Structure 1
Amino acid sequence: MSRLRRLTEGGLLVLMLGLVAGLWSAAAFEQAVARRAAAFRAPVVGAEVVDREGLLLRPFPIADGRWRLAADAGDVDPRYLRMLLAWEDKRFTDHGGIDAVAMLRAAWQSLRAGHIVSGGSTLTMQVARMLEDLPTGSFAAKWEQMLTALALERRLSKAEILSLYLRLAPYGGNVEGIRAASLTLFGKEPRRLTAGEAALLVVLPQSPERYRPDRHPAEAERARNRVLSRMAGLGILDAREAARAKREPVPGGRSEMPMLAAHAGERLHAASPTRHRIDLTIDSALQARLEAYARKKAATLAKPVSLALVVADYASGDILAEVGSPDIFDRERQGFVDLTQALRSPGSTLKPLIYGLAFERGIAHPESLVDDSPGDFAGYTPQNFDRTFEGVITARRALQLSRNLPAVELLSAVGPSRLVHRMRRAGARPDLGDRSLPGLAIGLGGLGLTLEDLVRIYAGIANSGLAMPLHIEKSDAPARGMRILSEQAAWYVTSILSGATTTTKGSPGEIAHKTGTSYGYRDAWTIGYDGRHVVGVWLGRPDGAPVAGLVGQDSAVPVMKDVFARIGPVTRLPGPPPGILASAGAGLPPPLRRVGRAAEQSRAGLRPEIVYPPNAAAVELGLGEGAPSDLYLKVRNGQPPFTWYVDGLPVDRGELRRQSQWRPREPGFLTISVVDAAGSAASSRVFVK
């Protein structure tokens, strides 16, 4: 390049600066600045999903795939800000967008060198270049930068302009802004940075591809150290701190962006793609522990078996952790499917609500005797899981053993529609398929529910029967609970599920839980709760295929216990509310001692029974031989007095004794009946001759 050409370029820069000064008050210049100020639009930033404390769970890139996150001065280390302004624009707070001193120095340097050495750009001018995607080294671009910088200063505060820089500064590849850079380079937010980290983030935007530490570590280290030396010279860092920072290794690669509660974040972002911030009730520390546990646990399961977890604070309804699958990128386990939202058969997990409704309505008590024996319920003939029967046992024991027959009998008394209604009051959305009215089969898993639905139901039982709205998004609106069980009924259920052997007055223990296994070993469930948290666990195949040996007790209970261990110390279950009936056997009111078929069996034991003549007997009385004998009639059980009938006609009334007699006139078949004082009857059909 000739000296004349170098002088010309330098002169043009000086001329340009002169034009700026000359046109400052001109109408055309004013219109140009005003037009740019009016046209300003804040740059789009990626959506963020944050936890209950505002910590980042998962960010989303903007539409073109760039990582760009909202940031302001409060999001970064104050030392970084001091270093940035000292390095890039020490008069940032004083100038109006253009630093005349810096521009004159840049013009003089360019004039002496014969080419542009530095542009004298302020932070505002750099923001203008980023906003308009302007090239460097061009006088036309520099002029546009200055016009836009003046417009920005007119439209925005200094803090807002600084925030734009913190969002837009390039860091190589598809990474823009201080937060995205700090997350990908150091795996953390930029609120607390070492001196070396801060210096690297200061210098990288000057030449983001040339100084990328994952590609050019030596160049990155030299550039960073120049910043550190300068900061030491300016007194921002002391010499020892700067020397120590120079020994810090530069990052050798880039980290993945955070992706905690990925399924929940994806679901909510898809529902509201224009929202820039989604605040969740998730506890990020607990979420991280459970996601790590789920990945470790999944490694012990044969693919494609997967698992899902939900943890909630049942008093508030806050979901504290939600693991939709062990790994969202695991294709063999269809990790992209959010299994907390998948409709599945709940198996036996609805039995506690059935029993709770029976307790609430006075149909049964935990110590009531129920019948676990084969039965027919309007054509529905359920079987127990193990194909065996316990006979007459207490309701407490029947629920603890998860017997099917007593549960179906109690559901028949309570009503399937009432069960569905209470589930819906808890916020669950049961899927009844193509049935308009629910049947008894729903009590054993004949409907569709999600893991979240079951956690809603159990949260209501755990919270003394009051179901608070289960939610994963934070809300300032006051929550209003819906009662699904009375306090007493809910506590009876808790006492049973915690393993208590009797209804007592104290705390029933630490953890109450119920398991479930769906038909064909497709789903294994455990829902448990202590004095504060409710935990839901599901295991199975995402495609719904059977898994041999997959049983809630064996597969899901150990996972539930592991989850509680990772939550922290267990909170003991509360004691009973007022109104609890802590009695058993004869201490119960007579209608509650035996219920359903067990009561019928008890009443059958008091009914009259014809001892003689027994049914289908042939009795020789000598009829037709001239001296026939009387037919003796004997009854046991029942309440006297008794009335005897033969072929429908009374033959003896008001008999207090249990024995009577009557003489037939001729041989043949007879129907003999007896009715006691309570109206109970017995009959036998005999042949006399």
Structure 2
Amino acid sequence: MKNKKVLLYFAILLGVVFYYFSLPKQLFKTPTSTVVTAKNNELLGAVIAEDGQWRFPELDSVPLKFKHCILQFEDAYFEYHPGFNPLSIVKSLITNIKAKKVVRGGSTLTQQVIRLSRNHKGRTYLEKIKELILATRLEFGYSKKEILNLYASHAPYGGNVVGLEMASWRYFGLQPHQLSWAETATLAVLPNAPSLIYPGKNQERLKKKRDKLLYKLYQRNIIDSLTYSLALEENLPQKPYKLPQIAPHFVQKVHKNYQGKRLQSSIDIYLQHKINSIANKHYQQLKQNEVYNMAIMVVEVSSRKVLAYIGNSPTDSLHHNFVDNVEAPRSTGSVLKPFLYAQMLQTGELLPTQLVADVPTEIAGYTPKNFNLSFDGAVPANEALTRSLNIPAVRMLRSYGLAKFRADLQDYQLKHITKPADYYGLSLILGGAEASLWDVTKSFAAYASIINHYDLSKFRYYKNEFLNPFISNDAQPDYGKLQEEYETIDAGTAYTTLETLTEVNRPETEVSWKYFDSAQKIAWKTGTSFGNKDAWAVGTTPKYAVGVWVGNSDGEGRPELTGVGSAGPILFDVFDALPKSDWFTIPYENLTTLNVCKKSGYLALPICESEEKLVPINGIKASPCPYHQLIQVDNNEQYRVNANCVSAHQIKSKPWFVLPPLMALYYQQHNSDYVVLPNFKQGCEALSNHQMEFIFPTKYKSEMSLTKKLDGSENSILLKLTHQNQHAEVFWYINENFIKKTTQYHELPFAPSKGFYKVTAVDNFGNEEVRLIDVKN
């Protein structure tokens, strides 16, 4: 007897254990769709599940209307039974035996959840017993609410539509809680016979089932007579609806990182609709020039969340509408120039208004050109930036150091700039590298954030400002440790750079913005890549950073595709759609006031006419003005003199602004107030140091190939130089043979054959310049 009791207890224990573990830990293992909502939980879009089913992730709640409908239709005693309903089972057995076939089911919603989780195993009595056991086990482990949610999430709704939420979108284009009583009743009866939903078929049968349920709801006082009458008049769904496609490329981006999950994103749906309209308007204009693609991105600076995201224009597959141009690497054009300007300000190698050279330049075979193919001779650095001049940018990069700037960009986390500095060369600053709109926009946001945080944190810096923007509404930025020293860019430099960028000339529709009280300051920069393939416009205010790219996804360039003309108007339309913001609080603690030379922008010497400028704090390390010198002139200031040619009482000292000859040649063409040095008085020349400088070729040693005319003959080379003394005479020699003397305009046409040549220019004061030319053809 004792052994039998032990065996009995063991059998009971074994049964309990088996019963406890009979229910899988994860009831449903089917893949789900990726579902993306805006921050207000409105649906942005979805991606179909791996198995080809439209199956949204499980609901966490079911609308009250659906609960009433499904319980009245499927399981009126759901709230009371332990997983099965004995009365229903008995009734179904009697009915089926009489009919000699299965005509009625006695399954509860709990049993149906089990059957759905087991992939609709055969409807045999053995399977029914298994379902009954598992259903009771489910009732022990889950609440009634959770079981109802499971049913609503996994019920079949015809075709590849699974679950209440997807069915609601598919058949009514609405969220489940937005459905009427008639619509909800339709979805409640469908899992029982999902084949009835096919448009244009079985309408009468479906309507009868729906209306029968509505009558039941009316009888049970769940709906009133008016609601019942109106519900009967509602039409059945006639065609399937498409899911919302408000931000399709953003949805795909989310899908890469959150596959099969539901994400409440950071997208502001109202702003997204506005930006979509802006994109569509400009697309209609741009496609007239055969420009078919664009990208727009809006980032909130404080939270670093993406508020709007357009990966492409509303174009077609022929024009690569599937490409996400926010993420795609593109030639940067000139959009990296502000970063070089900032880095040079920060090291003290540059002051904002300091003159930089804008002259014909050739560096190691690389000859940069300005967009307008002209030269200014010398131009203030801030103006060179706002006008996006290429030659000053290249010369500044060479001065600052290519490798050093490449390392700076690595700190900015521009993930597509991965090659060593030598791979890019000096063209790095003009679009020789590729970056994504995502990365460039986040960098502008980082500059704005550095200034904001410096003020809010009482003059300290966060370690990690150049972090990636967030796409999840729940994400919180981790800026890292708060510290006294800046990590990448200091607040004074960031502010000075962004303040400079407010002076970039706006598109034609915005040229008078300063005259309107409602206008806001925007720091922005354009970029146009070589061959007019990429047009950029990126800007920021203290609250928002906006990036725009325009072009063709296949890389085809188009005439008149430029940053200012194509991307700029979109940028300002986007800023107009955003709330206005005040400008930054000036970070005085990280700026200093210096006396700078009015004409050169360098630190002022005693002989310079100076003015006070607020500059980044490292400006104290800048160089003193190299272009002012104290010269001696006669009392009439007509000639230069010295003590060897006139008496002391006939000499007066005077400061003079003097640029090197090549810079001066172009500078005076744009600056009518530039006065060249006076000539030496006769008899005083012996002590002079007259200077001359080649315009072409600029390098000491050059390789050249001759171009051909239409008739097949070869063009000549035009040798040119400039002289500081407008009355100087220059004697030209080629391979030590005298060729010609020139005055005032110093040019020598030269038509060589293949070979090596030495060109020597000697002035009448004994100064000499030499160039070596290797002609290849």
**TM value normalised by structure 1:** 0.77
CA contact (8 A) 1:498 1:510 kept: yes
Amino acid at match of 2:272: Q
Aligned-partner SS, 1:332: helix
CA drift at 1:324:
1.6
CA 1:283–1:215 in 2, change beyond 3 Å: closer, same or farther?
farther
2:229 is the alignment partner of 1:204 = no
Number of the residue aligned with 1:454: 440
CA drift at 1:333:
1.6
Number of the residue aligned with 2:279: 294
- Identify which of 318, 339, 359 aligns with 2:305: 318
Number of the residue aligned with 2:604: 590
CA 1:31–1:438 in 2, change beyond 3 Å: closer, same or farther?
closer
Equivalent residues in 2 for 1:600-619, closer than 5 Å: 602-603=627-628, 606=631
C-alpha RMSD of matched pairs (Å): 4.2
Gap regions ≥5 residues in structure 1: 1-24, 615-630, 641-657, 663-670
2:90 is the alignment partner of 1:86 = no
Number of the residue aligned with 2:502: 498
Number of the residue aligned with 1:472: 470
Amino acid at match of 2:582: R
Instruction: State how far apart, in whole Å, the 1-side matches of 2:408 and 2:221 are.
Output: 69
- Identify which of 309, 315, 318 aligns with 2:296: 309
CA contact (8 A) 1:71 1:178 kept: no
Number of the residue aligned with 1:569: 579
Instruction: State how far apart, in whole Å, the 2-side matches of 1:607 and 1:374 are.
Output: 32
**Number of residue pairs matched by the alignment:** 609
Number of the residue aligned with 1:337: 323
Aligned-partner SS, 2:195: coil
Number of the residue aligned with 2:371: 385
**Higher mean displacement: 483-492 or 549-558:** 483-492
CA drift at 1:108:
4.0
Instruction: State how far apart, in whole Å, the 2-side matches of 1:197 and 1:580 are.
Output: 69
Number of the residue aligned with 2:543: 532
Deviations 1:76-95 (A, max 9, x none): 32122122212211211221
Number of the residue aligned with 2:147: 161
- Identify which of 60, 72, 96 aligns with 2:59: 72
CA contact (8 A) 2:306 2:469 kept: yes
CA contact (8 A) 1:305 1:333 kept: yes
2:529 is the alignment partner of 1:518 = yes
Number of the residue aligned with 1:554: 565
- Identify which of 430, 438, 451 aligns with 1:444: 430
2:238 is the alignment partner of 1:238 = no
**Higher mean displacement: 465-474 or 90-99:** 465-474
Aligned-partner SS, 1:439: helix
Instruction: State how far apart, in whole Å, the 1-side matches of 2:681 and 2:285 are.
Output: 73
**TM value normalised by structure 2:** 0.69
CA drift at 1:660:
11
Equivalent residues in 2 for 1:11-22, closer than 5 Å: none
CA drift at 1:533:
0.8
Number of the residue aligned with 1:62: 49
Instruction: State how far apart, in whole Å, the 2-side matches of 1:241 and 1:577 are.
Output: 64
Number of the residue aligned with 1:48: 35
Number of the residue aligned with 1:222: 208
Number of the residue aligned with 2:714: none
**Higher mean displacement: 43-52 or 395-404:** 43-52
Amino acid at match of 2:542: G
Deviations 1:217-244 (A, max 9, x none): 4433332222111101111111111112
Instruction: State how far apart, in whole Å, the 1-side matches of 2:16 and 2:467 are.
Output: 57
CA contact (8 A) 2:354 2:380 kept: yes
CA drift at 1:459:
1.4
Instruction: State how far apart, in whole Å, the 2-side matches of 1:185 and 1:211 are.
Output: 9
Aligned-partner SS, 1:256: coil
Number of the residue aligned with 2:349: 363
- Identify which of 484, 488, 493 aligns with 2:492: 488
Instruction: State how far apart, in whole Å, the 2-side matches of 1:212 and 1:69 are.
Output: 21
Instruction: State how far apart, in whole Å, the 2-side matches of 1:73 and 1:499 are.
Output: 52
CA contact (8 A) 1:633 1:660 kept: no
Number of the residue aligned with 1:622: none
Instruction: State how far apart, in whole Å, the 2-side matches of 1:477 and 1:72 are.
Output: 28
Instruction: State how far apart, in whole Å, the 2-side matches of 1:214 and 1:293 are.
Output: 38
CA 1:77–1:26 in 2, change beyond 3 Å: closer, same or farther?
same
Instruction: State how far apart, in whole Å, the 2-side matches of 1:35 and 1:480 are.
Output: 46
CA 1:686–1:605 in 2, change beyond 3 Å: closer, same or farther?
same
Number of the residue aligned with 1:14: none
Gap regions ≥5 residues in structure 2: 1-10, 454-464, 506-516, 612-618, 656-679, 691-723, 726-761, 767-777
CA contact (8 A) 2:33 2:57 kept: yes
Amino acid at match of 2:396: L
Number of the residue aligned with 2:266: 281
CA contact (8 A) 2:57 2:262 kept: no
CA 1:333–1:295 in 2, change beyond 3 Å: closer, same or farther?
farther
2:183 is the alignment partner of 1:179 = no
